[in-house]
Amino acid sequence: MPKLRLAFFGIFLVFSINIAISNISYGLGGLKISPVRQELNIEPGTSRDGKLVVSNLSDTSMTVALSAEEFSVINQQYDYAFTVESDVTKWVSFDYSEITLAASQSQEINYSVDVPLSAEPGGRYISIFASTESSLSKSGIKSKQRVASLLYVTVLGGVSRSGNLISLSSPWLVFKGGEWSASLQNTGTTHYISRYNANIVSIINNKTISSISGETMILPGTVRLVTDALPPLSWPGLYKVVYEIGLGDTPAAHETRYVLYLPPILVVSIGAILVILAVALSRRRKHKKI
């Protein structure tokens, strides 16, 4: 009987701890910043003002610190790297470097980007962070959150946005859904937005059956791997896939590939027919031998 009581006590204790952890996570969570991304064009020797909204979506008050870090990308998947100490981060100033938000409160933050007269034309990339750190006095558990708004700054002058399509991979056989990918390069001095379209075209009447479009940001001096789904297909057959990929100031790339679409039910049906034919042929041969 004591063992049974001890087991029930253990279950109750674990259940209580789980509830406490759940409440703690909710109380410390909920920091938000908007907008997520902004593009700014600024002449050397001038400044540009901007606004951010920082929100506390939790049920407790929090103190939020504001800071700026320069960011870059480290691979074709565009994983970010941040630099705290940078001349570029000194361009950013805030009305308030720290604010206190009550539960469910939002506050508008003014900031300024001051570009020195000596700045060379080109792209500069700054992340504005809103961060908060909270702790529980009894347990000593600390939780730190950071949310970011990315600034894509172009220092105006003789900037260029030159793009290249390095490679394009498109599937030639699709059973259900498929993906295509392209490696895009930016050899210019500032970023550009690549807008792309992929169209499924009938090889019989050359009409577009379905299409998909999207856009992505390409930073200068980088290569980005862009991946997206193929447009949907309804009927089995051979189709053309016509790609149009924007490359900044460089004329858009136009590429054509072919894809054979075999839906799973058709593949299963063909397989079943082949098996039936093979069995029938085998029986026929045995019958002739007899």
**Whole domain around residue 188: which residue ranges?**
163-266
- Same-domain pairing of 41 and 129: yes
Q: Which residue is associated with the tokens 């540009």?
A: 48
* Residues 148 and 35 reside in one and the same domain: yes
Assess whether 62 and 137 both reside in one domain.
yes
CA distance 117 to 43: 8
What is the arithmetic mean of pLDDT over 118-132?
97
Bridge partners, 155 (sequence order): 42, 122
3 pLDDT higher than 50: no
Question: Would you state the structure tokens that stand for residue 144, as one six-digit string?
Answer: 């730190």
What's the pLDDT at 25? 30
Residue 200 CB neighbours (<10 A): 21
Is residue 15 predicted with pLDDT exceeding 50? no
Least confident of 7-11, 71-75, 127-131, 178-182: 7-11
Is the per-residue pLDDT at 45 higher than 60?
A: yes
Domain assignment present for 210: yes
| CA atoms within a 13 Å half-sphere pointing along the CA-CB vector of 22 | 6
Among 42, 40, 64, which Cα is nearest to 53's?
A: 64
Sorting pLDDT into bands at 50, 70 and 90, what band is 21? very low
Quickly state the pLDDT bin for 42 (edges 50, 70, 90): very high
pLDDT at position 177: 82
Question: pLDDT, tens digit, for every residue of 181-207?
Answer: 999 999 999 999 999 999 999 999 999
| pLDDT of 4 above 90 | no
Question: Could you tell me if 121 and 201 lie in one domain?
Answer: no
Give residue-wise pLDDT tens across range 237-252: 999 999 999 999 999 9
Shared-domain flag, residues 86 and 195: no
- Write down the pTM of the prediction: 0.78
Residue with the larger pLDDT of the pair 283 and 290 = 283
Q: How far is it, in rounded angstroms, from Cα 80 to Cα 188? A: 20
The span from the CA of 59 to the CA of 138, in Å, is 19
Whether 126 and 169 map to the same domain: the answer is no
Annotate 163-222 with DSSP letters as a single string: EEEEEEE--SEESS--EEEEEEEE-SSS-EEEEEEEEEEETTT--EEEEEEEEEEE-TTE
Quote the pLDDT of residue 89: 95
Q: Is residue 107 domain-resident?
A: yes
Looking at the fold, whether 139 and 254 belong to one and the same domain comes out as: no
On average, the pLDDT of the chain sits at: 85
Least confident of 30-44, 82-96, 140-154: 140-154
- The structural domain count of the chain equals 2
pLDDT for position 271: 66
**Shared-domain flag, residues 146 and 56:** yes
Q: Are residues 249 and 193 in the same domain?
A: yes
Mean pLDDT of 260-273: 68
35 lies in the same domain as 150: yes
- Same-domain status, 57 and 141: yes
41 and 146 belong to one structural domain: yes
CATH of the domain at 142: 2.60.40.10
Structure tokens at 222: 């980088």
Share of the chain above pLDDT 70, in %: 81
pLDDT band for 20, please (50, 70, 90 cuts).
very low
